[in-house]
Amino acid sequence: MAGSEPLSFGLTIDEELCSRCSLCVYTCPFEALTLLKGELPEERKVEVDREKCKLCGLCYTICPLDAITVQYYSMEDLLEMARQLCLKTGERSLVVACKGSNPTDRSIEEKVGRRGIPVLRVPCAGRVPMDFYFRLLSEGVADRLHVFPCEEEFCRLKEGGKISFLKLDYLRSLLAELKVDGGIISLTKSVNKAKVNEAKCIGCGNCEHYCPYEAAMVRSPGIATIDEEKCMGCGICLAVCPNFAISLEGYEQETMAENLAKLAEAAKRAVRGGVKPVLVFYCQWAYTPKPPEGDGSGICFMELPCAGRLDPLHVIQALNLGFEGVLVLACKEDMCNFEEAGAKRAEINLSSVKRALSQLGLDGKVEISFVHPKYPREAEEALSSFLNKIKGER
């Protein structure tokens, strides 16, 4: 990025509040926290390795003294999002779903047994503090909670699923001690994995070649199959399948094409002064948008399970639908939750599109930026820079 000003970091530790108990150090699944020991008490402190930290937030939720704060999905942000969802829908039941497991609204409705229930999607169910659930119930925001964490072995943040189960079991035990119906909090493990339509598969082997988990394979007589035990739901195989034979619930080719068309129509109605809309595809791990409301800018956002899921056809379709430009926000390669394959695949896919557009004299219409929530300003600066570039070309 341009400029030499260091990026602010999204996690801070208040040394005055910290008791040096080391719970955060033991909890961190990425070994990003270290307790520095000195001869004097004031020399002892917890240090964060910014390179290793993925801002999973598990340390933040485990700290007994609230000495750790995060800017990404903080307690107050979570509460406000929950309040707005319940207020908007008029519902008193709320679903808290882990983004990693990617449960679609349809699958949630089937498992909960009701339609129209609001869904708060979080980057990891394990990083949601127990106080969050207590406050939702005690403040009357919700009277029933449905939590959808990942299965433990499916968790992209290593210990998030396990910790979420422990927290919720403990919370329900506390409610039972208080003579409160433990059923007001339900727990449903969830996963979202790729599936092959054998009737469409042409046996090209792309999925097998590009799958970062060796979950896809072509078996005799030339039909692909997905090993559900290995599949982690990144969606990369969907982007490289030439015959659209692979699906991931909520991110199928037809679903994304329909969603793009709806976004384009909505953007055309919202923009003012002849401004053309801009589309931002973003990896669910890299960014959570806070789109401007009512300013007529026409910025639209579409979430991806991984930037590697983005098919070049989606970018071409977006431009054909009238979007002035397309920006892709992907994780930094060393921060990618899919063995670094997602960030690499996204860059390769976008490179082919940019080359084709360049030959048509449409340079600058498509860009990719690599960002991460642990640097809060990074994504906003990338978006601002792209918008200024697009405006300069109008």
pLDDT (tens digit, 9 = 90+) per residue, 154-187? 888 888 888 888 888 888 888 888 777 767 888 8
Whole-prediction pTM: 0.88
Q: Which helix (H) or strand (E) holds 130?
A: helix 130-138
CATH number of 253-393: 3.40.50
Q: Which CATH architecture has domain 11-69?
A: 2-Layer Sandwich (3.30)
Task: Please tell me the predicted confidence (pLDDT) of residue 200.
Answer: 95
β-bridge mates for residue 180, sequence order: none
Q: Tell the CATH topology of 196-246.
A: Alpha-Beta Plaits (3.30.70)
Residues of the chain with CATH 3.30.70.20: 11-69, 196-246
Task: Work out the percent of the chain whose per-residue pLDDT is above 70.
Answer: 94
Question: pLDDT tens across 282-317, in order?
Answer: 999 899 887 554 444 578 999 999 999 999 999 999
Distance in angstroms (rounded) separating the CA atoms of residues 80 and 63:
22
Tens of pLDDT, residues 84-98: 999 999 999 999 998
